[in-house]
A = this chain, B = another copy of it.
Amino acid sequence: MSIRYISQKLAQQIDEELMSSSGAFSLDQLMELAGLSCAQALAKSYPAKSHKRVMGGDGLVAARHLHMFRYKPTIYLPKPGSKDIYQRLLKQCENLNIPVLKDVEEFKKGLGESDVILDAVFGFSFQPPLRAPFHTVLSAITSTSLPIVSVDIPSGWSVTDGPQPLYTEPDENGNTDSVKTFEPEVLVSLTAPKEGVRGFKGRHWLGGRFVPDELADKFELNLPEYEGVDQVVELPRVE
């Protein structure tokens, strides 16, 4: 039985169940383990020796663990979150002197000094069309030849249908821009892969080794077995 590709709705439902009073997980716990999974997947795909400089689009927890794994992460935050947890995760990165960029021009410059991109900009709740400044962010990413590690859904892809023609919001004259999407070299799916990445042909890791067996059974996720103490497991390549 192969792994289940889940809908956006089911992904949200699983998160809600994990954090409900019966699931009992806190957001802090889940984000910590998810971010650690992303950092491990990147490290298993691109060793620090050859790919030390990681440009993270969001991904504060992953960046902190990558620092601990002796990478040199930089974080670009297109829309800094205002929630308390976000502020705390940001402070933890600042305490490690991880540079945090807030301007898209700095981000473009930073890409020129990076070895690999960790694309955690959108996540599985993205809905088109593209709003500012994400148009510029996405164009900046697609215009590099750096290897990209995407989390859950490559930025700009539809969670349901994968890579699709992508447009910006209409301006005051009703005009939209078409935006190129990209296929990352590596994908990290958290909890379970989403429907939109069904045709993804790159290296694919599953992370989030915290889903209770009963929850996985209930939703027929057919998760593969992780090895040893790993927080990620590689999925077979799609031909």
Give A contacts to B, CB under 8 Å. 22-26, 28-29, 32-33, 39-40, 43-44, 64, 68-69, 85, 87-89, 91-92, 95-96, 209-210, 212-214, 226, 228-229, 231
Quick check: B43 and A229 within 8 Å, CB to CB? yes
A32: chain B residues within 8 A (beta carbon)? 28-29, 32-33
State the main secondary structure of chain A at its contact with B.
helix
Contact of A22 among B33, B39, B95, B231 (CB under 8 A): B95
Copies, count: 2
Contact A210 B68 (CB under 8 A): yes
Looking at the assembled complex, report how far the CB atom of A70 sits from the nearest CB atom of chain B, in whole angstroms.
8
**Chain B residues closer than 8 Å to A228, beta-carbon distance:** 43, 69
Tell me the minimal C-beta distance from A171 to chain B in angstroms.
40
- In the complex, the answer to whether B91 meets A229 with C-beta atoms within 8 Å is no
